[in-house]
Chains A and B, each alone.
Chain A
Amino acid sequence: MTVMTRVVELRAMQYRRTFRASIFSSFLNPVLFLLAMGVGLGTYVDRSETATQALGGLSYLQFLAPGLLAATTMQAAAFESMFPIMAGLTWQKVFHAMYATPITPRDIVAGNLVWIAIRLTTIAAIFTIVMTLFGAAASPLIVLAIPAAVLTGLAFATPIAAFAATQRTPDKFNSIFRFGITPLFLFSGTFFPISNLPAAIQPIAWLSPLWHGVELARALALGTIGQAPGLALVHVAVLATIFLAGSWWAFRTFAARLARG
């Protein structure tokens, strides 16, 4: 297990170059979104009584912020498990160079996932701080929304990284964003409750891993998790299952790819 920390070390060494810009945008992103959507759009939403009812008496900012937290880690996870993986396996081939040493394909997968988890934790923590500054935190349990968001991100990271290891060009990455990440971002209960969707489509939203992440993060940020602890466990179980299945798949695709050269 300690061998894979070498992989994490490499990723950290590479990150040093872009560290400042990256931390800055981790702050800027939630500030902009919460200002525009939470405060700007929220002012209109909060004037409507039907809207406030649908949101269960919450302000729009309170409703939106935890959802955005989960959605942001999803997007960051998708990005981090596409391009850096392609760089390591196809462009610069540094993962192949690693494989010529005692490091195994399994270490390379595990090290990259640990690195992605570290990145997501930073992003989620900064987001949570900004949320709190905006007054969108209703419960101290919001601290637990950070691991919930990281788990959401990892559920996307493992299958996407596994897929990225099978590709030799980034052509299909756009499709993943266009037909996967963006629709999920919009229709997983981030911006409005899925009960607002037509009844026929609602069950589809339940299939969205992001919906589980959004619900979980929201229940923690608002401190309502005690009302339906069983449901929270289902969310965790769904995300953990996807994460584990994706990890298993990634071990296979990385090993096959590294052996092929």
Chain B
Amino acid sequence: MYVTASSEPVEYDFGPMPEMRTSADAALIRARGLTKRFGDFTAVDGIDFAVAKGESFGFLGPNGAGKTSTMRMIGCVSPVSDGELEVLGRDPRLDGPRIRSRIGVVPQQDTLDTELTVRENLVIYGRYFGMSRAECRRRADELLDFIQLSERANDPVEPLSGGMKRRLTIARALINEPDLLLLDEPTTGLDPQARHLLWDRLYRLKQRGVTLVLTTHYMDEAEQLCDRLVVMDKAKIVAEGSPRALIERYSTKEVTELRFPAGVQETLDGKLDGLAERMELLPDRVLLYADDGEAAVAAAHQRGLRPETVLVRRSTLEDVFLRLTGRSLIE
């Protein structure tokens, strides 16, 4: 059985996937009232969204917001509790295997086979999709080159660094040339250098027209990679738009961060009122939201305030999240 498998014809000939309409509303994923419950706990609470072909779409939110549950439903491995979901024009309830044959999944935790080599991990994964052995080997070598791991092809997986394992997991998800790539927290736990290398590879995929759907709790990752994103909090979507549009809508152009000596912040009472459009008091600093940061700093000095450090910066998605939920993304 094992030896003769190579001569088998390629399977999963499910016929052509439905024609993708070329208009802007051609959606690879469409969700309406999508809900996931585990017993009494509601992990995803009636969310609506759509992802267009070629788009790079993100779910931004803190841990426990329902991002992974949503991704697992899109990946057709976790049954939908309620609402509607359509992936690649099909219903996951009826066509799970067929949909899965056209997507690539990078799970939050690497699920590489440590009993196999780097290359074998890719080859066997191609076999799961019914690709011929020759095709699997060809794709594996191509992908090893793409993720810059060709030199480690015949090494075991275990000694690889976290970043390398992550790249290998991404390569594995690309073995079937998917129409849609799902990435759950692609860079969590990686050092900055490894993250940038990964972002670079994902950016190249995006340029090639691969549709990316990713979850993250890093606002810089969302800004770098997402054309459009939804902000999730407590199982619900609280905002939707491009990173820039979200920042423009929910925050000011600039943010001024003031740090006061220990104990001083608590004694400020109303002294900061009116310095900015909006203000956030964090445990360790004060954020002043005003389009002109320098002007806000000058005004604070005029009132006799003497912060220890002052930082004027551009608004980020972190500020959007703070505004929408009153909490930080990473707690």
With both beta carbons as reference points, the residue of chain B lying nearest to A261 in the complex is identified as: B72
Stretch at the interface among A21-29, A49-57, A74-82, A89-97: A89-97
With both beta carbons as reference points, the residue of chain B lying nearest to A93 in the complex is identified as: B111
Kindly identify which residue among A3, A5, A13 contacts B1, using a CB–CB cutoff of 8 Å: A5
Kindly identify which residue among B111, B129, B130 contacts A96, using a CB–CB cutoff of 8 Å: B111
Contacts of B125 in A (CB 8 A): 97, 101
B12 close to chain A: CB less than 8 A: yes
B58 close to chain A: CB less than 8 A: no
Contacts of A259 in B (CB 8 A): 77-79
A20 close to chain B: CB less than 8 A: no
Question: Which of A5, A6, A98, A258 has the largest number of chain B CB atoms within 10 A?
Answer: A6
With both beta carbons as reference points, the residue of chain B lying nearest to A2 in the complex is identified as: B11
Contacts of B124 in A (CB 8 A): 9-10, 13
**Is there an interface contact between A94 and B130, defined as CB atoms closer than 8 Å?**
no
With both beta carbons as reference points, the residue of chain A lying nearest to B133 in the complex is identified as: A9
Dominant secondary structure at the A interface: helix
With both beta carbons as reference points, the residue of chain B lying nearest to A98 in the complex is identified as: B128
| Shortest beta-carbon distance from B185 to chain A in Å | 14
In chain A, positions 154-176 with a C-beta closer than 8 Å to chain B are none
| Shortest beta-carbon distance from A102 to chain B in Å | 4
A47 close to chain B: CB less than 8 A: no
Size of interface on B: residues with Cβ below 8 Å to A:
37
In the bound assembly, the distance between CA atoms of A10 and B127 in angstroms comes to 9
In the bound assembly, the distance between CA atoms of A110 and B65 in angstroms comes to 36
How would residues 90 to 130 of chain B score, 1 for a CB under 8 Å from any chain A CB and 0 otherwise?
Answer: 00000011101101010101011111100010001101111
With both beta carbons as reference points, the residue of chain B lying nearest to A258 in the complex is identified as: B77
In the bound assembly, the distance between CA atoms of A260 and B36 in angstroms comes to 11
Contacts of B173 in A (CB 8 A): 100
Contacts of B98 in A (CB 8 A): 102
| Shortest beta-carbon distance from B63 to chain A in Å | 15
B62 close to chain A: CB less than 8 A: no
Kindly identify which residue among A2, A13, A102 contacts B129, using a CB–CB cutoff of 8 Å: A102
A186 close to chain B: CB less than 8 A: no
How would residues 230 to 255 of chain B score, 1 for a CB under 8 Å from any chain A CB and 0 otherwise?
Answer: 00000000000000000000000000
Dominant secondary structure at the B interface: loop
Contacts of B75 in A (CB 8 A): 100
**Is there an interface contact between A102 and B130, defined as CB atoms closer than 8 Å?**
yes
**Is there an interface contact between A102 and B101, defined as CB atoms closer than 8 Å?**
yes
With both beta carbons as reference points, the residue of chain B lying nearest to A15 in the complex is identified as: B115
| Shortest beta-carbon distance from A167 to chain B in Å | 18
**Is there an interface contact between A92 and B2, defined as CB atoms closer than 8 Å?**
no
A48 close to chain B: CB less than 8 A: no
| Shortest beta-carbon distance from B184 to chain A in Å | 11
From known contacts A101-B101, A102-B130, infer whether A13 and B111 are also in contact, taking CB-CB under 8 Å: no
A104 close to chain B: CB less than 8 A: yes
In chain B, positions 1-28 with a C-beta closer than 8 Å to chain A are 1-2, 5, 8, 11-12
| Shortest beta-carbon distance from A105 to chain B in Å | 9
In the bound assembly, the distance between CA atoms of A92 and B156 in angstroms comes to 14
In the bound assembly, the distance between CA atoms of A177 and B79 in angstroms comes to 35
A8 close to chain B: CB less than 8 A: yes
**Is there an interface contact between A13 and B120, defined as CB atoms closer than 8 Å?**
yes
Contacts of A94 in B (CB 8 A): 111-113
Contacts of B127 in A (CB 8 A): 6, 9-10
In chain A, positions 130-160 with a C-beta closer than 8 Å to chain B are none
Contacts of A12 in B (CB 8 A): 2
**Is there an interface contact between A102 and B97, defined as CB atoms closer than 8 Å?**
yes
In the bound assembly, the distance between CA atoms of A101 and B99 in angstroms comes to 9
How would residues 244 to 261 of chain A score, 1 for a CB under 8 Å from any chain B CB and 0 otherwise?
Answer: 000000000000001111
21 A–B contacts from the bound complex (CB under 8 Å): A6-B128, A9-B5, A9-B124, A10-B127, A13-B120, A14-B113, A14-B116, A92-B113, A92-B114, A93-B107, A94-B111, A96-B107, A100-B75, A100-B77, A100-B103, A101-B100, A103-B97, A104-B96, A114-B1, A258-B77, A261-B68
- For the complex with contacts A9-B2, A96-B111, 9 further pairs of A-B residues with Cβ separation under 8 Å are A5-B5, A14-B113, A17-B115, A93-B107, A94-B113, A97-B113, A98-B128, A99-B77, A102-B129
What 5 pairs across the A-B complex have the smallest Cβ distances?
Answer: A97-B111, A101-B128, A100-B105, A102-B97, A93-B111
